Structure 1
Amino acid sequence: MGIKKIISFALLVFVPISIAAHFLEWSALTIFITSALAILPLAIWLSTATEEIAVVTGPSIGALLNAVFGNATELIIALVILKEGLVDIVKASLTGTIISNLLLVMGLSMFLGGIRYKEQEFQPVVARVNASSMTLAAIAICLPAAVISTSNLVEPATIRNFSIAVAVVLMVVYILTLVFSLRTHSYLYDVAVVEVGDGEQGSEATSKGTLPEETSHKPNLGLWIAVLLASTTVVAVESELLVGALEEATAGLGLSPLFTGVILLPLVGGAAEYVTAVTVAVKNKMDLSVSVAMGSSLLIALFVAPLLVLVGQAIGQPMDLDFDPFQVVAVGIAVVVANLVTVDGRSNWLEGTLLLATYTILGLAFYYHPV
């Protein structure tokens, strides 16, 4: 049994523990920690179910499932936080997820893969396409803040309308990236179809938007649909528990809402991507590892963030794309560093170390950032 399965089974014990902690009115810190640990295996099962269903349904429906459920855990947590009116934490979690995928996930993958293999290769064309899309997303995140900082007075309604218009553009771009990767230039992404299981026959995974073309096993479609629905439902329940205890628990730990959103929440929601990316990198499959890391960041920037802007308007919790200037700087740094490291289509353990060092420095900066 692989590490991913061991983690996904072992940590499920925290689901009933966290629910019991809520009803027995244990401390907010206990509820926060147990619900966070409960979300980790659920994120892995949700991701696995999506991959298995994609094997049966084929590329078209599978691509849609990847688009909807690829970062479902992060989306559910963000929606629950948004519903509570904690818009600043939602924004922090979005920027934190982008930063952690580009620096932490890719850094760990390159470092651990580079220790086992002297040098690893991946498709530079795919990396350049992802880099271009990420640059657009970074610009979209920067612009509202730039508008405000360069204007004497900007009405909230103006920023809100501007954010809605940008959100629509970003979602259109994301749809076009799916068309590019699945239709017009799908041959560029064929290399991302690899085995990622630890010896399990026919176990496969996909990057965001890339799907397996052939498999040696036929998953039980009904079973995996049930797993998908059950995982999504329980993630929503655990997210409610997590968010309910969030402010009190983090205040007790002496952590600011900014640090919580940028560092802690992405670590909880992105467990599935972290395990998948690192696992395939150690197997010398850096194509898929880079695609998972950068593809997840693209999904957050081009789909999840715009979707939250539109949902926020619908539920009466207005959210815009006016991110904190320091978050904007951090995203810009992450995008630039990730683009520089991936541009040549090669990686080694030192480049992984540089990415991890950049993430650590940014994490320290957010920790010491004045509240």
Structure 2
Amino acid sequence: MANDGLSAGAAARRLGVAVTTLRTWHQRYGLGPSRHEPGHHRRYTVEDMVRLQVMQRLTAQGVAPAEAAAWARRSPGPEPDATTATDAAPASDSPAPASGASAPPSGSASGSSARASGSLAPGDSADPALRAAAAAARESILALVESGAMIADVGLGDGRAGGGQTIALGPRVDPAARGLARAAMRLDGPSMRYILESAVTHRGVISAWTNVMMPVLIGIGERYEATKRFVEVEHLLSRAITEALSIVPRPPRELAPRVLLAAADEEQHTLPLEALAAALAENGVPSRLLGARVPSRALVDAVDRTGPAVVVLWSQLPGTGNVAQLGCLMALPHPPLVIAAAGPGWPLADLPPTVTPLSGLAEAVRVVSSAIA
């Protein structure tokens, strides 16, 4: 960044947001440019950019903008002492100033005074997870600044793609899912991976899948059904989920996989199987994942060669849930101990009694793990 700071347009490009977003953050939350020379527009300094990126990182995780801004205004200044950190009053979500008015920059005298009084710092009621997220965002971004590597890929992507394009998730959805939905609609791959990998690492695969990934996937699916748009959002999100699930360490190669996972013939959806493979790995159970559109003959050949104890066949759509595929496995001279039908595409009433229906990821992990114990 040049020594004289960045213009609003340059700062917006660096962060990957619209200039109007910067204006909103300036007017409503006091996160504006602090460098000013008479006769020139204000410029964003390195410290200003750090604050803005903390704001981005926290809102990506579903933190309310007012609270995220309160944390951002504390960066990258000196760490508060114990009294300030514990006795500060909660941040207020005050309305935006009148049009044309701007909140004092955090580096100004009035901003320092407010910070000293505690009005800009979240109080004791702040979620410990929020405190940790803010600290992590602050430290990682400061490290980038100090190394001269102020990169834009930790931001929220191009805010101009938002424009009323939202995903309805419901009032009680996990905050991380809200952050993921925002990043997805802005086609911001780095933020999606950050949120997803954090969820997988700190919550585990089952919780991350159930509470963070699935609500957003369902929401995007519903938006597509209503508008026939946003295929690009679903594709990028799916890729980010695949990458996040791949960070789960796999069992040692010495353990021979006794579980075979496959999508039914003509079935192209595989994310649920990828989640199952990762959740099993998390529990020390190796598996083979054949992927999408596995013909019956190929499935039978794979079972014949590897002799798995468990086969899970996934069907997402009714058109791919052909019970005859399961019959091919049952007709083998030495069929698997457990043949499981997973996914909403299977006609439950028509499943043979020897086929185990699976209704969710947690149940699938429990059934599969028990079968090979």
Same fold per superposition (TM over 0.5): no
TM-score by length of 1: 0.22
Q: Which has the higher contact order (CA 8 A, sep 6+)?
A: 1
Greater CA radius of gyration, 1 or 2? 2
Name the structure where helix makes up a greater proportion of residues: 1
